[in-house]
Every structure is written in structure tokens, then in C-alpha cells.
Amino acid sequence: MRVLEVWRYPVKSLLGERLDETRIGVEGVEGDRRYAIFDVATGFGLTARRAPELLFASARLRSDASAEITLPDGSIATDDEALSSWLGREVTLRSTDQVTQRRFENPEDFENEATGRWEPFEGSSGAFQDSRNAAVSLLSRPSMRRWEQQRFRANIVLDAGGEDELVGARIALGAAILDVRKQLDRCVMVTRPQPGGIDRDLDVLRTIHRELGGCLAIGAVVVQPGLARIGDELLPQTD
């Protein structure tokens, strides 16, 4: 089982950037989910659950660790005003060290999200991840079946399947050591339309619930930081 792709998503729910190598620190891939866009009126962090249009913008990490956001029309959002104009609501971009309250929302019923209830939840400390047990997410190409990689936003794409069997194990990923903690629950985001001809498809999540128990990909915490590269072999560690 080897690393096929490495991805970083500097701003939560925006398109990210593909890397040849990355340093994996205690918060995960360096710079991953370092920023999030917050709704000023509600205080909630915005994700593509509530604001699907986020999936049509992209972000990259500059050399000074700031985020450069490219809007769907190709322009660069230089400030909160530009982001607010695009999203049609007052929003603000914040980094992980600027925010203490990390509240997000998830629809209770993805089949009826327009009329159903939305449940608030607390994101993890550190990077803007949904779970503290998923600083790094890993998913194999075979496990994606015919689905597009962009739907799942894994940091590490693997060339061979069987990643679910790693839950509870300690693994080496390049020079980094990870404890694999859980399978990742999937939400309505995987059904959203995205650039590149990816259409809205509720059957993606229906199939994941019906055949995979609602989970796809695995989440890990970082025991020992280190560099990981495309082509690195994933190796089990023993005490």
C-alpha cells in the first residue's frame, strides 16, 4: 500500500492543492484546514453542507502561510468584503489561532435538508477538522469505486485497498508515525456538485450508508511528525 496522491485544503470546504510531499505535524498535513470562513451573523463556521457554493472556490497556501482564495470567476478574494459579496452574506476568514469557538452545522436528514432540522456540532481544536481523531485522512483509490476523489477530500490517497483494516493500528507514513483511530462518517457534502462536471448525486451517500455503514476513509492522529511523499509505502509499526 503506497501513497498515490497528497492533498492539502488550506480553507475548510474549498478546493485544495495537490502536493508532491508534505510535512505532517501534530495537526495533520501542514497548513491543512488552517482557515475557515465564518458567518458573522450566526457565528457558525461555513461548510459546503450549508453553503455548497464553497466547493467552487479554491485555496492555496502562500509562502507566508496565508491563504490565497480564488473565486469561481477566477478573481482573487483579497479581503472579507470580497468573500461576503460572493457569498451574499457577511462573512469573515479566520485562522485556527483566531477562533476558539468552532461550531458548524449538519443536516439531520440529507434527503430533506431544505425543510429538515440542522444540528450544530463542535469541530476539533487545532486545524478545522470535524473530528479530533482525524488530523490526517486516508482513502484508497479502490475504495472510491467509480466516485470522484474530490467528493471525499482525503489528505492521502492510497493505491491499494484494505485501509479499514488499519483502524486501531500504528503506521509509518514516510517519516511520520500515525495512530489510526476511526473510520470516517460521511455527510451530505459527498453528494454536492463540484467543478469539473461533478453533478449532485444523492446516491453516493445512499450507497455509503447502505453498503459501508455510513463510513468511507480512515482518520488518524499524529504520534511523530515527519515528511511524507508520493510513493512512500505505508508500513505497520510494532511496539
Whichever domain contains 152, its CATH number is 2.40.33.20
Write out residues in the chain with pLDDT < 70, as ranges: 239
Whole-angstrom CA distances from 61 to 33, 75, 210 are: 10, 16, 37
pLDDT for 239: 62
Rg (CA), the chain: 17
pLDDT for 78: 93
Question: DSSP of 79-91, one letter per residue?
Answer: SHHHHHHHHTS-E
Task: Please state, in angstroms and rounded to a whole number, the distance separating the CA atoms of residues 147 and 41.
Answer: 36
Report the predicted TM-score, pTM, of the whole model to 2 decimal places. 0.93
pLDDT digits (tens, 9 = 90+) for 164-222: 999 999 999 999 999 999 999 999 999 999 999 999 999 999 999 999 999 999 999 99
- Domain housing 58: 3-236
Q: How many domains does the chain have?
A: 1
Task: Please state, in angstroms and rounded to a whole number, the distance separating the CA atoms of residues 108 and 13.
Answer: 19
Look-up of cell digits 476513509: 217
3-state secondary structure 63-115: CCCCEEEECCCCCEECCHHHHHHHHCCCEEEEEHHHCCCCEEEEECCHHHCCC
